[in-house]
């Protein structure tokens, strides 16, 4: 009996095969019969955004989201201006790639000032929204696991991401629910329900026991202890029926052939996502 | 200018110098002029609880808390009975050591069942409360960082610990606020205020960047990015004026002389706690 959703919903988040270039990842998707991809900007930049769009669409793929904008907190106005410029470019790249969703990884605090970081994140999103609206791009705030606060994001709960998103129009700013980042949260199901139509993306991976690397130690679905079926059911009850991105950031996997990893992604998705 | 509280409030949590036996830790406290200690049960067991009490009180020390009871979730009734027996013994040991506070590290989920673990934790505390009351011991639920959920505790937010504690009398079941475990939480100050007189203990350490070990990679106060003054101020506004336990779980520190670590603890406490 198959537990997971249909492969047509699988989007390969490119970091899962970071060893591959964007053209290589596109080819790997084609060989595996996948139809959706979620590129990262550093891979897009290697070929240029216009060529990236040609390659993706020429292969019959569509883009579920672009990863990523964000990293709003900065120690000074020059840093904030640089972040703003980079985020506007990210919006433009998302539009050029034909996706309506830009993922925001909001950035860590400067020093010890977590509250200040959260205020800078709100202000940064406020400045970005008009540009995103002009380009038909939605901003999707992704809360990360609290263990990543100092490297990646001061936004570490879905509740906080919802609080931020609700300051804006529901079709402009929403959230990404990444099971790996939020599975521990006692308020998870309530916050998923609250997010509702603001769920702009759903990501999966698994939590290995033990987890030996905080940033690059994720497991394939079914290898760990996250109750992925329960979380997917909650996300679907909230109304989300879009692509499910497989984002398995695992250093060991990057040392192996990309096609092997993609085959494992497909099998794990069908069995356990 | 001294930032921290007086050394009279410093309790040395024994795991900070896990390289030392209980008698050695007591001697180290004496040489440093400390008057409060928080022993761990495995160290107490090495000398026996009655002898441990004699040594501690003979040296003029008092005990802020005993670490630890908990680990309630088990895969079967026999496992739960074993946990119950161990927890009743922990209560008796706390009473014998002259402390009114037993710290509860509530235990990880069995498999993928986080909700089931939380239900087992509540049930386990309910079974333990009468025995604790008989011995004049308060139960202090310590929420751990969400990155420790699979090894240590399904209770990973102060809000959840408060929810649990509020099912019982305020003088019987409360919480430990450990800055290392809760500093990332956007609801931290609200939940500290909510805990109020249920705060039975306050622990400090610091979050290193990067954190290279999830379980044994804590920093000394001031070495990391936790805004400890802000958290202590919130805890004190909530009415807590008891001992502050220094609980720096750091594998590298355990390879060094215990007296050196205790000296660093005192200096860091005065400068940054």
Determine whether the interchain pair B114/A183 forms a contact, defined as Cβ–Cβ distance below 8 Å. yes
DSSP H/E element including A179: helix A179-182
Q: Which residues of A touch B225 (CB under 8 A)?
A: 109, 111-112, 150
Predicted confidence at residue A1, as pLDDT, reads 42
Determine whether the interchain pair A186/B118 forms a contact, defined as Cβ–Cβ distance below 8 Å. yes
Q: Tell whether B86 lies on the interface with A, counting CB pairs under 8 A.
A: no
**Could you report the per-residue pLDDT of B32-60, keeping only the tens digit for each?**
999 999 999 999 999 999 999 999 999 99
**Could you report the per-residue pLDDT of A149-179, keeping only the tens digit for each?**
999 999 999 999 999 999 999 999 999 999 9
Residue A4: pLDDT over 80 = no
User: Between B111, B118, B184, which is nearest A146 by CB?
Assistant: B184
Q: Tell whether B147 lies on the interface with A, counting CB pairs under 8 A.
A: yes
Q: Which residues of B touch A187 (CB under 8 A)?
A: 159
Residue B160: pLDDT over 90 = yes
Determine whether the interchain pair B184/A111 forms a contact, defined as Cβ–Cβ distance below 8 Å. no
Helix (H, G, I), strand (E, B) or coil at A131: helix
Report CA Rg, chain A: 17
Q: Tell whether A213 lies on the interface with B, counting CB pairs under 8 A.
A: no
Q: Which residues pair with B204 in a beta bridge?
A: B246
Residue A194: pLDDT over 50 = yes
The candidate with the shortest Cα–Cα distance to A259, out of A16, A37, A65, is A16
Q: Tell whether A214 lies on the interface with B, counting CB pairs under 8 A.
A: yes
CA distance A31 to A22: 14
Q: Tell whether B184 lies on the interface with A, counting CB pairs under 8 A.
A: yes
Q: Tell whether B119 lies on the interface with A, counting CB pairs under 8 A.
A: no
Please report which confidence band the pLDDT of residue B5 belongs to, taking 50, 70 and 90 as the band edges.
confident
CA distance A102 to A269: 23
Q: Which residue is closest to A226 within chain B, CA to CA?
A: B112
Q: Tell whether A2 lies on the interface with B, counting CB pairs under 8 A.
A: no
Determine whether the interchain pair A146/B150 forms a contact, defined as Cβ–Cβ distance below 8 Å. no
**Could you report the per-residue pLDDT of B179-209, keeping only the tens digit for each?**
999 999 999 999 999 999 999 999 999 999 9
Residue of A184, A215, A227 to mutate when probing chain B, most B C-beta within 10 A: A184
Residue numbers of A between 36 and 55 with CB closer than 8 Å to B: none
Q: Which residues of A touch B157 (CB under 8 A)?
A: 185-186
Query: How many Å lie between the alpha carbon of A209 and the closest alpha carbon of chain B?
Result: 7
Predicted confidence at residue A56, as pLDDT, reads 98
Query: How many Å lie between the alpha carbon of A6 and the closest alpha carbon of chain B?
Result: 23
Q: Tell whether A210 lies on the interface with B, counting CB pairs under 8 A.
A: yes
Residue B3: pLDDT over 70 = no
Residue A3: pLDDT over 80 = no
Residue of B153, B184, B189 to mutate when probing chain A, most A C-beta within 10 A: B184
Determine whether the interchain pair B186/A159 forms a contact, defined as Cβ–Cβ distance below 8 Å. yes
Predicted confidence at residue A5, as pLDDT, reads 87
Residues in contact with B230: Cβ distance below 8 Å, sequence separation at least 6, in sequence order: none
Q: Which residues pair with A141 in a beta bridge?
A: A104, A175
Predicted confidence at residue A240, as pLDDT, reads 98
Domain segments of chain A as ranges: 7-272
Q: Which residues of A touch B149 (CB under 8 A)?
A: 184
CA distance B200 to B165: 11
Q: Tell whether B152 lies on the interface with A, counting CB pairs under 8 A.
A: no
Rounded-to-10 torsion of CA A213, A217, A223, A228: 110
Determine whether the interchain pair A112/B157 forms a contact, defined as Cβ–Cβ distance below 8 Å. no
Cα maximum dimension of chain B: 56
Q: How many CB atoms lie within 10 A of CB A253?
A: 21
Query: How many Å lie between the alpha carbon of A210 and the closest alpha carbon of chain B?
Result: 8
Residues B270 and B7 sit within 8 Å (Cβ to Cβ): yes
Report the CATH superfamily, name and number, of domain A7-272.
Answer: Divalent-metal-dependent TIM barrel enzymes (3.20.20.150)
**Could you report the per-residue pLDDT of B240-267, keeping only the tens digit for each?**
999 999 999 999 999 999 999 999 999 9
CA distance B14 to B45: 13
Number of continuous H segments (helices) and E segments (strands) in chain B: 10, 9
Sheet containing A138-141, strands listed edge to edge, beginning at the edge strand earlier in sequence: A62-63, A36-38, A10-13, A244-246, A199-204, A173-178, A138-141, A101-105, A66-70
Q: Tell whether A114 lies on the interface with B, counting CB pairs under 8 A.
A: yes
User: Between A109, A146, A163, which is nearest B145 by CB?
Assistant: A146
Query: Which whole-number Å values give the CA distances from B87 to A82, B68, B105, B109, B156, in the listed order?
Result: 55, 9, 11, 18, 20
Query: How many Å lie between the alpha carbon of A187 and the closest alpha carbon of chain B?
Result: 9
CA distance A115 to A122: 11
Query: Which whole-number Å values give the CA distances from B234 to A111, B103, B122, B141, B238, in the listed order?
Result: 20, 21, 27, 18, 6
Q: Which residues pair with B138 in a beta bridge?
A: B101
Altogether, the residues listed in chain B come to a count of 273
Residue B2: pLDDT over 60 = no
């Amino acid at each position: 009996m198959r537990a997971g959703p249909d492969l047509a919903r699988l989007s390969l988040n490119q970091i899962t095969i970071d060893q591959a270039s964007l053209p290589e990842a596109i080819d790997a998707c084609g060989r595996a019969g996948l139809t959706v991809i979620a590129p990262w900007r550093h891979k897009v930049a290697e070929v240029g955004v216009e060529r990236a769009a040609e390659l993706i669409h020429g292969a019959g793929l569509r883009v579920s989201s672009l990863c990523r904008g964000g990293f709003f907190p900065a120690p000074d106005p020059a840093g904030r201006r640089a972040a703003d410029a980079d985020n506007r470019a990210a919006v433009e790249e998302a539009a050029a790639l034909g996706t309506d969703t830009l993922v925001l990884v909001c950035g860590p605090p400067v020093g010890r000032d977590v509250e200040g970081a959260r205020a800078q994140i709100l202000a940064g999103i406020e400045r970005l929204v008009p540009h995103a609206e002009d380009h038909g791009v939605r901003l999707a705030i992704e809360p990360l696991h609290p263990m990543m606060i100092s490297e990646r994001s001061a936004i570490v709960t879905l509740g906080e991401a919802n609080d931020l998103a609700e300051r804006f129009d529901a079709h402009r700013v929403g959230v990404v629910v990444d099971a790996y980042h939020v599975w521990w949260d006692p308020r998870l199901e309530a916050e998923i329900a609250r997010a509702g139509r603001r769920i702009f993306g759903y990501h999966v991976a698994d939590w290995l026991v033990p987890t030996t690397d905080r940033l690059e130690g994720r497991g394939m679905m079914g290898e760990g202890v996250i109750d992925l079926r329960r979380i997917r059911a909650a996300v679907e009850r909230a109304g989300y029926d879009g692509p499910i991105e497989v984002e398995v950031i695992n250093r060991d996997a990057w040392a192996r052939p990309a096609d092997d990893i993609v085959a494992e992604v497909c099998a794990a998705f069908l069995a356990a996502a």
